[in-house]
Structure 1
């Protein structure tokens, strides 16, 4: 679980507010995870980690508020993970 960034409580609250800006968010459910039979809870709205790849790629970069330092640390970590050579 080293690749999934953990959030502080303040970061969690900021991310929780941003979740409502996601195009897949529908009243607490995620349209991208919906299989058509029953609704699926938006996992990003209930966790202290950044688990949703769509949220990290499409929603978080658009924020100009308190999550900007968080985004730069995530970007740095993902860059380091890509450049680790496997022997």
Structure 2
């Protein structure tokens, strides 16, 4: 992980610690190239967590937005999921 990415996650963790009580509901938003395997990889990362997942294709169908609403145990758990899905090629975390 480069220093810029590391700094982002440190700042995110601090923000989450001060703005929420844990466990807490967290909303993840991702954009991935429209590809069944990539969408499935993101969905699989949240399997067995009771997540509510919504997907929507872009107007031209090239990209799919994925919203995941899920109860997470801690800021560390939130960041761990971001890191887990970051391996999906072409994913953008919002």
The TM-score bracket by the shorter chain reads: 0.3 to 0.5
Instruction: Please report the TM-score for the alignment, with normalisation by the length of structure 1.
Output: 0.35
Relative contact order (alpha carbons < 8 A, sep ≥ 6): 1 or 2 greater?
2
